[in-house]
Amino acid sequence: MQDPYDEIEWSSVHRLHSINHEHTFGANRDGWAWGNENEPGPRRRFQTLYDRGIRHFALSNYYPSKPTYPLRAFFSDVPADAIGCPNAEHATPTGHFCSVGSTFATHPETYDGSWGELFDDILGALQFPNGGGVVINHPRRSDIGFETSRELLAYDPRVLGIEVWNHRGVVLPKYRARGNATALWDELLSAGIHTFGFFNPDYHRAWDCPRAGSLARGRNILLVDETTEEAAGRAYREGRFYGALDGSGLAFERIETTGRTVTIETNQPAAIQFISRGETLRTTWSTATAYTIEDVYPYVRIEAHDDTGERIFSQPIVTETSSAC
Ligand SMILES: [Zn+2]
């Protein structure tokens, strides 16, 4: 069994709310390409993230694709508990990639090289050797299907996974509702390809900007012993986080695997779903439930939602040795 949560002390763990794909600047720090009289500037965009509970800011600004790090170099009055993380969104003809924990910067709009060379550059500039890695952004919006995902993920174990939720891709009509990649995630996991799922707004506007049509949704809740940059990077590397689509008032209080039995607790009643191969195997309305994974299922992941629209997504618990990592 590969359970990314197996070493967590749930009674004392910190939940560090993070985004790894979100923009606060337009085309660059000084040129606010998306700004106008209805669009607040970068400091206001940063503030709306903070007001919504984000404390770990792996901002993914481009172009140039250069880390918005340290935060104090870019924003005034940064709150003491706001943690920065080098990251940027890099583009190749194959797709867009975030570089969580990497100080690598590119200046042209498209990286001058192959995706493999880009990954080498990103991974060669990791701030902490045990933290962060590459994330495949909005795979459906980029037409990255199963085969290409498999190739990208097999390149290096530090290619961490796919962006399962890209809120901008869900809500903007031009992206034709291609921001939700849960089906691709299940397809990869069903084939034994171990990939973590990432959840992000990818907003280019303030979180609560009315012109964007809805509140931004999507965050990664990092489960850390201490709220430091290094611990956050390790949580990303090791999959010690879960995705959330809103606040998130709904929380996993325990995800524990013993043998093939997975025990789940939530902080309030929720519909707890066990999912494998794209099927919901069981749904229980409760704050605590356990499920024993049958031999035929190569993994299980857990989603839970409450009646206010909060939805949380565990990382997969893999029952077979994966061929991909
Ligand atoms: Zn983006």
Query: pTM (2 decimals)?
Result: 0.94
Assigned token pair, 154: 């097999």
The length of the chain is 325
Distance 104 CA to ligand 1 centre (A): 16
**10 SS3 class:** coil
Distance 87 CA to ligand 1 centre (A): 11
Question: In angstroms, rounded to a whole number, what is the distance separating the alpha carbons of residues 67 and 80?
Answer: 20
Distance 291 CA to ligand 1 centre (A): 37
For 266-300, the pLDDT digits (tens) are: 999 999 999 999 999 999 999 999 999 999 999 99
Distance 271 CA to ligand 1 centre (A): 31
Distance 134 CA to ligand 1 centre (A): 14
Question: In angstroms, rounded to a whole number, what is the distance separating the alpha carbons of residues 35 and 27?
Answer: 10
Question: In angstroms, rounded to a whole number, what is the distance separating the alpha carbons of residues 291 and 277?
Answer: 16
Distance 168 CA to ligand 1 centre (A): 9
Strands 56-57 and 83-84 turn out to be: parallel
Distance 89 CA to ligand 1 centre (A): 6
Question: In angstroms, rounded to a whole number, what is the distance separating the alpha carbons of residues 302 and 91?
Answer: 32
Distance 150 CA to ligand 1 centre (A): 22
Residue ranges of the chain with per-residue pLDDT less than 70: 26-40, 208-214, 320-325
Distance 226 CA to ligand 1 centre (A): 28
Q: Contact 286/269 with Cβ under 8 angstroms?
A: yes
Distance 138 CA to ligand 1 centre (A): 9
Distance 108 CA to ligand 1 centre (A): 15
Question: In angstroms, rounded to a whole number, what is the distance separating the alpha carbons of residues 319 and 107?
Answer: 42
pLDDT of residue 27: 53
Assigned token pair, 125: 């500039």
Distance 201 CA to ligand 1 centre (A): 9
| Type and span of the H or E element at 122 | helix 115-124
Distance 23 CA to ligand 1 centre (A): 6
Strand partners, 280: 275
pLDDT of residue 63: 83
| Type and span of the H or E element at 188 | helix 182-190
How buried is residue 296: exposed, middle or buried, by Cβ count under 10 Å (0-12/13-18/19+)?
exposed
Q: Contact 87/101 with Cβ under 8 angstroms?
A: yes
pLDDT of residue 320: 65
pLDDT of residue 209: 62
pLDDT of residue 212: 52
Q: Within a 10 A sphere around the Cβ of 263, how many other Cβ atoms?
A: 13
Residue whose structure tokens are 């190749």: 92
For 185-234, the pLDDT digits (tens) are: 999 999 999 999 999 999 877 776 655 556 778 999 999 999 999 999 99
Distance 231 CA to ligand 1 centre (A): 24
pLDDT of residue 37: 46
Question: In angstroms, rounded to a whole number, what is the distance separating the alpha carbons of residues 62 and 25?
Answer: 8
Residue whose structure tokens are 């607040």: 40
pLDDT of residue 155: 98
Contacts of 114 (CB under 8 A, 6+ apart): 92
Distance 297 CA to ligand 1 centre (A): 34
Distance 278 CA to ligand 1 centre (A): 27
Distance 317 CA to ligand 1 centre (A): 28
Q: Contact 305/285 with Cβ under 8 angstroms?
A: no
pLDDT of residue 26: 61
Domains and CATH numbers, the chain: 14-242 (3.20.20.140)
